[in-house]
Chain A
Amino acid sequence: MSDMTHVTVIDPGFSTSIQDLGRYGYRNIGMPVAGAMDSYSFKQANWLVGNSFDTACIECTLVGPTLEFRGGCQIAITGADMRPTLDGGVVELNRTNEVKGGSVLKLEGCTLGCRSYIAIAGGFDIEPQMGSVATYTRAKVGGISGVPLSKGNALSYYVNPTAVTPRVLPQNFAIGLSNSYRLRVLRGPEFDQITSSSLDLLFREQYIVSTELDRMGCRLDGVELNHKGAADIISAPVQFGTIQLPADGQPIILLADSQTTGGYTRIANVATIDLPILGQLRAGNKISFENIDIEPAQKLFREQNSHFI
């Protein structure tokens, strides 16, 4: 039986929180799924330290935290490059890293992508709430007291320095980060409530990610799209990846913490395989959309996840 030790948050960074793959089973009472915004990088971080894929990780946003590890362990960092260092020495992304007790891990800012995941072999010892440790701040559930990490927080884990044979992510398996992305989307339930010329524009034009961007949603700036009639619908289910079009004609992409229902027309929905890209968007990124049908989308999803089962 290993000893219990902990990581102390020396500096929380911009917005750092405990996430897993989300809280399922409660959307019918209005509780969003939350969870890792880039589930692809999240699962890879866990694979690199031999964890089950849904093990809680630390999700870092734009500027990462500084953490002190009291006991030895193995960690892995994936996603955006926040130039992590361990006691001043460079830490490579996308591979297993040994950490000695007393070490300080420091993440800085990233210039490409947005989010980074830190996994620890054996996971953190955190009590789930409503079946998950995903932090959902609005209802104050999950993580540490239902809010992002702050200075002084202590995260418990088991000392386990030789848990797994070190691994490296195969080349080209890490998520491709860029300043410009092409998102594959399915037509939404209300796609026919926008004019056909607007539907054309949606698949032809580029949109820019605005500064109105957080874990709930992302507003896009670009060519105005028009409704045939009303812009609003009676409140209906929405999810991570649903693209809404309010009356002002600027699309909104809903993200992990979005509400479970919404009253704007749902013109499209990002395919599951491209949801992780949404977790890496930063203001100023360019987005274009490509139509994909459901069967090819599901086939690609199964292929992408065949090594995660």
Chain B
Amino acid sequence: MMNNSAHYPQFTPLGDQCLLVRFGHCISEEVNQLVINFARSVVDEDIEGIVEVVPAYAEVAVYYNALYISYSEVLTFLKKLSVTNMPEVGYQRKIVRIPVCYGGEFGPDIKHVADHNGITVDDVIKIHSAAVYPVYMLGFTPGFCYLGDMSDSISCPRKERPRLSVPAGSVGIAGGQTGIYPLETPGGWQLIGQTPLELFDAQREPKVLVRAGDAIQFHAINQAEFDEVGSTQEGGRDV
């Protein structure tokens, strides 16, 4: 029989209207599975007074309204849920395929990433698009996914001088991480390509294409395909 005590979370307040349920202090698939599963089960219980549930790498923030439910009531409920709701098996992450036009004007730093690692641009594309990246959490900006499992062989430090403006949909590398900018922002990531998909759209259902608990796999497309996908989306790409 599996000893589940290692999975029992710790509980700590974040201010007086949020309780953190902490499953660990590291970035790992095992810990994140507990996080995602627990977050889902809190939402499923649909308790009055609980406002929203936010998963992060290793903890879940349960936001509540102290006018309707007290700290001790939330704590009691979450403790009970953590004991009765341990997952037996891990769940399968839903893989979302993201088309990327690599290099050229969309990926001005791809050669730098290649050179930094002593490999070719084609190698970078092959390696980057081979992996399935778990989506551990969303944050930083609406639709921004924190991805895991990028290969060391394409890692590259951030730009010393961030760009003032990175186009929405840009796919980049910073250190050992890869990600996509859903909105135009300043940024210091090494840009290797761009997706024509709008990861976040306030007017659309669904608002985001990828959620915590999913996984992403990139695949290479050419300029013509990029233009075609871009034009079939409602609304412009400019954010």
Contacts and interface: CB of A to CB of B under 8 A. Distances in A.
Interface string B1-42: 000000000001111111010100111000000000001000
A141 B239 CA distance: 10
Contacts of B144: 30
Contacts of B52: 24-28
Given A189-B20, A272-B15, A130 B71 contact: no
Interface string B53-67: 111111101010011
Interface stretch (B81-89, B98-106, B159-167, B206-214): B206-214
A302 B67 contact: yes
Given A30-B139, A30-B141, A234-B25, 16 more contacts: A24-B52, A25-B51, A26-B52, A28-B39, A28-B138, A29-B143, A130-B202, A130-B207, A139-B202, A186-B15, A236-B57, A236-B59, A237-B20, A259-B139, A261-B137, A298-B71
13 contacts: A28-B54, A28-B55, A29-B211, A30-B138, A30-B144, A138-B183, A189-B22, A237-B14, A239-B14, A239-B15, A260-B140, A261-B56, A302-B66
A237 B56 contact: yes
Contacts of B70: 298
B229 to A, nearest CB: 22
B15 A269 contact: yes
Contacts, number: 136
Nearest to B70: A298
B200 interface: yes
Contacts of A186: 13, 15-16
Nearest to B141: A30
Interface residues of B, number: 48
Interface in A233-280: 233-239, 241-242, 259-261, 266, 269-272
A25 B51 CA distance: 7
A241 B15 contact: yes
Residues of B contacting A: mostly: loop
Contacts of A188: 14
A238 B15 CA distance: 10
B146 interface: yes
Interface of A: 24-31, 129-130, 138-141, 186, 188-189, 233-239, 241-242, 259-261, 266, 269-272, 294-295, 297-298, 301-302, 305, 309
Contacts of B212: 28
B202 A239 contact: no
A233 B207 CA distance: 28
B67 A189 contact: no
A87 to B, nearest CB: 39
B51 A24 contact: yes
Contacts of B138: 28-30, 260
B131 to A, nearest CB: 20
Contacts of B16: 186, 269, 271-272, 294, 297-298, 301
A23 to B, nearest CB: 10
B176 interface: no
B54 A27 contact: yes
Nearest to A270: B15
Contacts of A259: 139-141
Contacts of A233: 25
B230 interface: no
Contacts of A24: 51-52, 63
Contacts of A242: 14-15
B107 interface: no
B222 to A, nearest CB: 30
B142 interface: yes
Top 5 nearest A-B pairs (CB, nearest first) are A261-B139, A269-B15, A237-B61, A297-B16, A30-B138
A285 B120 CA distance: 55
A199 B43 CA distance: 36
A188 B54 CA distance: 17
A266 B14 contact: yes
